Structure 1
Amino acid sequence: MTKRVAVAGATGKMGQLAIRLIDEADDLELHAALDSRSSLDEMLGADVAFDVTHPGASAAIVEFAAGAGIPIVVGTSGWSSDRIAEITQFVRGHDDAGAVVFVPNFSIGSVLASSFAALAAPYFDSIEIVEAHHAGKVDSPSGTAVRTAELIGEGRGVAGPVAAPHADQRARGQLVSGIPVHSLRMSGVLAEQRVILGGDGETLTFTHSTLSPSSYEAGILLALRRATEVSGVTVGLDALLDLGLPGTIR
């Protein structure tokens, strides 16, 4: 059966990419393309919505779709764990609410790198994240870095917090789930993340580099196709890949 997709943020790069993928897919069709002047009512009748707007607009879009019973995939950056918790309460408080799938990064390679780091995390007490994005990215740390730090924290379990010496010094990075995160915003970079794990006499580094927006295509299609199969609030493309990591569905 063909799924009708409403795209919010249709004029942006990710929105245009999603629309192209929808047009090329046999099992998807474009229901509505929303920009900043569109009424959210244009989403009504869609089987799934796709939000790639900006942090100031995203919450209203998500609440509208979920409240209308439309599953929504959220690719907008800037969603903290506290804001996701608010949406979780919103969904739980509305009968027949649509599922909400938060995807910090649609690159399957990025998701796997973060997952591998989480699996290694219990064996190293020194762990830090360095992430770099283009100069125009407005939020830091990135949603991918936040998600990676959360997975590492969950993956450590009884091992407890990592060693983060001199965390009071600003140059030591921002602590996210107890993990120091360092953000670079500069020209010449699209996206890259390194998770560095240090042990006795050795380091282990997981690096993922995004070289082209085409790396997001498989993840976008996966999320759109699977969003109608889940319920409640799901965080991370890893949950849709069934990698078995903890804490992905709420």
Structure 2
Amino acid sequence: MTSRVAVVGATGKLGGLAADLIDRTEGFEVAARLSSKDGLEALADVDLVVDMTIPVVSPTVVEAALAAGKPVLVGTSGWNAERLAKLGHRLAELPDLGVIVVPNFSIGSVLATRFATIAGRYFDSVEIIEAHAATKIDSPSGTATRTAELITAARAELGPVEAPHVDQRARGQQVASIPVHSMRLAGIVAQQDVVFGGEGEVLRLTHQTISGRSYEAGILAALRALPEARGLTVGLDAILGLDA
């Protein structure tokens, strides 16, 4: 059986990559390629919805899909803890539907974030530096936000990171107590450094995306998990078996 998929945001870089990937993958076909500005009536005629839009549009796409009774894979940035909590409450009313929100589809990035959550329990000094192309609208990135939130959650018994001089603008934006510094530059696809400082040592975890092809395995893993998903799933960790 072939699943009919609507890709919203298909005119963008990631959305276009996802749509082309889905079209050449057995068991799936793209039934609707929509831009972030198109109407969403076509969602009623598909089996699955993929949202690759922009932060201001994404919640509308997700709600339209849920109202049409369709599960959603979200690859759009901007889904912070507050937005995710609201979405979780919405899904509690829809026990037969699922939404998978993925801050980063790169397997390497997912693993780097997992390593960072482990290291966060052993270092009290932590900062994140993330870099993306100049065309990326939002900052900090969804990956950096998620990484900071997970590190702080892993430190629940230790308390939040106490970063110095955070009242100074040059010290970055605090996310879950961790300073995050965002760069938007030509020539960069994506890179994230999580830097841990300790007595007499520095640990730096770096992940660099060289090509959009690094997202393909993660997109397919999430898409294949989507029909059976229930409730809210954030990240690829559970899908990849990292939570086992």
TM-score by length of 1: 0.93
- Structure showing the higher helix proportion among its residues: 1
SS in 2 for 1:106: coil
Specify the code of the residue in structure 2 equivalent to 1:61. Answer: V
- Number of residue-to-residue matches in the alignment: 244
Query: What is the identity percentage for the equivalent residue pairs of Structure 1 and Structure 2?
Result: 55
Q: What residue in structure 2 maps to residue 195 of structure 1?
A: 194
Are 1:218 and 2:217 an aligned pair?
Answer: yes
Specify the code of the residue in structure 2 equivalent to 1:148. Answer: T
Distance in 2 separating the partners of 1:60 and 1:107:
25
Are 1:180 and 2:182 an aligned pair?
Answer: no
Distance in 1 separating the partners of 2:12 and 2:136:
13
| Cα contact 1:145–1:181 (8 A) shared by 2 | yes
RMSD: 1.5
Q: Bigger shift: 67-76 or 108-117?
A: 67-76
Change (3 A) 1:39 1:116: same
Q: What residue in structure 2 maps to residue 47 of structure 1?
A: 47
| Cα contact 1:118–1:148 (8 A) shared by 2 | yes
Are 1:133 and 2:132 an aligned pair?
Answer: yes
Ranges in structure 1 where 5+ consecutive residues have no aligned partner: 246-250
TM-score by length of 2: 0.95
Cα deviations by residue, 1:107-143 (Å, 9 ceiling, x for unpaired): 1101100110101110111111000111111111000
Distance in 1 separating the partners of 2:216 and 2:180:
27
Q: What residue in structure 2 maps to residue 8 of structure 1?
A: 8
Are 1:113 and 2:112 an aligned pair?
Answer: yes
Q: What residue in structure 2 maps to residue 76 of structure 1?
A: 76
- What's the offset of the Cα at 1:3? 2.0
Q: What residue in structure 1 maps to residue 22 of structure 2?
A: 22
Ranges in structure 2 where 5+ consecutive residues have no aligned partner: none
- What's the offset of the Cα at 1:239? 2.6
Distance in 1 separating the partners of 2:112 and 2:170:
25
Q: What residue in structure 1 maps to residue 148 of structure 2?
A: 149
- What's the offset of the Cα at 1:2? 2.4
Q: Bigger shift: 45-54 or 217-226?
A: 45-54
